[in-house]
């Protein structure tokens, strides 16, 4: 157990339900405040994507009106140069591309113009996948441009979340870091250096930490730093190809595991030094923190290597950096990762995390969806 995270402090923090020692929290609070980032931060992963189709107007408006600090998105660029939000490389899982463009269904999303992308239904898949949470109004939802997500972030006069933007597979989009800068500048989302977190209740979207940039790719971190040195950046971490080297060289295919996520959950860094080296790289290239993966209690397709062990978080804090863990949805895991010392959580269930942080939304998920016409 790290020196500054004593057993009694852990007990106290668990009793408080926030899972973080007071002594340690003081420092990380100050660190977060210096960047204009709420502590702990509620990062709505692809919007409130448990309750509405990911990365659509329904999920982003829901996350905003519930009171999430940040709207998270995976940034891609269309064939004709428009920035938009989509997680997967291709459109099969979350749209009806197979019906509308059968010959091109396996093509990457960036092989489509924005006009073509806008013909796709990005909501109906959710109704089929999650019939218990389906809504007729989700059918026909559109893929959103970055401009449209900015409009959503700005539209609630009572709460303005920030944007937490990932350059997704940036090697597929040369120059996307520059394009992103141009768009954010154009929309007035690049704060002047030295500006402070807004003191009002309006939220993070009006202060110094209104945008956080995130990437798994070292090269993209460097480019983001070059383009937008004043904007907070997070280097995302996981164990596997292109990121932290695993202890075991056994591949998924060789492992005999049936479930890829069980395999990932068993992965661990080759050594403590290997983990630290990634944190050190992040710091040296302008990141103000890391975004590590978590191993989830129930497993599932978002459960990866446990990179939020207390010593890892302590090491990151000792470098003067924050830890925002992805992607955690269950109270048992909120407890666990907060007790381990993280400073914010990417979640698909913003409503649940806000409750856990004792900042519950003033309306239910159902009510907010209805208020927004869903
Ligand atoms: O960006 C943090 C988290 O979203 C990373 O995982 O695959 O959901 O983008 P992914
Ligand atoms: Ca992401």
Band the pLDDT of 203: cuts 50, 70, 90: confident
CA of 358 to the centre of ligand 1 (A): 25
pLDDT of the residue at 191: 64
In ligand 1, which atom is closest to the CA atom of 87?
9
pTM, 2 dp: 0.91
> Kindly report the CA angle at 354 between 301 and 63, in degrees rounded to 5?
70
Q: What are the residues facing 43 on neighbouring strands? A: 70, 346
In ligand 1, which atom is closest to the CA atom of 214?
1
User: If you search the block for the tokens 């057993």, which residue do you land on?
Assistant: 7
Could you count the other beta carbons within 10 Å of the beta carbon of residue 22?
A: 12
CA of 302 to the centre of ligand 1 (A): 9
Q: Are 283 and 321 in contact (CB under 8 A)?
A: yes
- Which residue has the CA at smallest separation from atom 1 of ligand 1? 166
Average pLDDT taken over every residue of the chain: 91
pLDDT of the residue at 272: 98
Give the span between the Cα atoms of 332 and 308, in whole angstroms: 15
- Which residue has the CA at smallest separation from atom 10 of ligand 1? 87
DSSP string, 76-89: EE-TTS-EEE-SSS
pLDDT of the residue at 205: 85
Nearest ligand by distance to the CA of 324? 1
Residues in contact with 7: Cβ distance below 8 Å, sequence separation at least 6, in sequence order: 1
Nearest 10 degrees: Cα torsion 327, 266, 343, 223:
-80
Backbone phi, psi, residue 251, to 5°? -85, 170
Q: What percent of the chain has pLDDT over 70?
A: 90
Strands (E), 115-220: 162-167, 211-215
User: If you search the block for the tokens 């950096």, which residue do you land on?
Assistant: 321
Segment 147-187, tens digit of pLDDT: 999 999 999 999 999 999 999 999 999 999 999 999 999 99
CA of 161 to the centre of ligand 2 (A): 17
Give the span between the Cα atoms of 233 and 366, in whole angstroms: 34
Band the pLDDT of 15: cuts 50, 70, 90: very low
Q: For strand 233-237 and strand 289-292, is the pairing parallel, antiparallel, or unpaired? A: parallel
pLDDT of the residue at 14: 44
243 pocket-lining for ligand 1 (C-beta < 6 Å)? no
Taking 60 as the threshold, does the pLDDT of residue 22 lie above it? no
169 pocket-lining for ligand 1 (C-beta < 6 Å)? no
Give the span between the Cα atoms of 203 and 361, in whole angstroms: 14
pLDDT of the residue at 199: 52
Catalogue all structural domains in the chain, each as residue range(s) with its CATH number. Answer: 25-89+144-371 (3.20.20.190)
């Amino acid at each position: 157990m790290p020196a500054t995270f004593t057993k009694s402090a852990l007990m106290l923090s668990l009793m408080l339900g926030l899972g973080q020692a007071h002594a340690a929290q003081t420092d990380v609070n100050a660190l977060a405040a210096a960047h204009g980032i709420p502590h702990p931060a509620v990062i709505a992963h692809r919007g409130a994507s448990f309750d509405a189709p990911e990365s659509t107007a329904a999920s982003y408006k829901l996350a905003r009106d519930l009171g999430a600090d940040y709207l998270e998105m995976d940034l891609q660029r269309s064939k004709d140069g428009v920035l938009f939000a989509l997680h997967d490389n291709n459109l099969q899982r979350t749209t009806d591309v197979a019906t509308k463009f059968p010959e091109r269904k396996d093509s990457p999303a960036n092989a489509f113009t924005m006009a073509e992308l806008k013909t796709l239904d990005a909501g109906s898949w959710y109704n089929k996948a999650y019939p218990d949470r389906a809504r007729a109004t989700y059918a026909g939802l559109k893929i959103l441009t970055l401009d449209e997500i900015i409009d959503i972030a700005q539209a609630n006069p009572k709460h303005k979340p920030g944007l937490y933007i990932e350059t997704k597979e940036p090697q597929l989009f040369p120059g996307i870091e520059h394009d992103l800068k141009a768009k954010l500048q154009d929309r007035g989302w690049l704060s002047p250096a030295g500006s402070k977190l807004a003191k009002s209740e309006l939220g993070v979207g009006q202060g110094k930490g209104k945008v956080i940039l995130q990437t798994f790719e070292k090269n993209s971190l460097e480019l983001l730093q070059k383009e937008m040195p004043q904007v907070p950046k997070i280097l995302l971490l996981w164990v596997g190809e292109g990121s932290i080297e695993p202890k075991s060289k056994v591949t998924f295919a060789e492992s005999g595991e049936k479930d890829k996520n069980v395999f990932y959950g068993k992965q661990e860094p080759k050594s403590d030094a290997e983990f630290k080296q990634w944190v050190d790289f992040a710091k040296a290239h302008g990141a103000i923190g890391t975004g590590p993966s978590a191993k989830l209690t129930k497993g599932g397709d978002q459960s990866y290597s446990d990179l939020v062990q207390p010593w890892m978080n302590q090491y990151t804090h000792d470098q003067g950096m924050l830890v925002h863990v992805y992607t955690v949805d269950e109270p048992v895991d909120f407890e666990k990762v907060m007790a381990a010392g993280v400073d914010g959580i990417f979640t698909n269930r913003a409503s649940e995390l806000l409750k856990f942080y004792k900042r519950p939304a003033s309306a239910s998920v159902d009510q907010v969806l209805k208020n927004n016409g869903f």
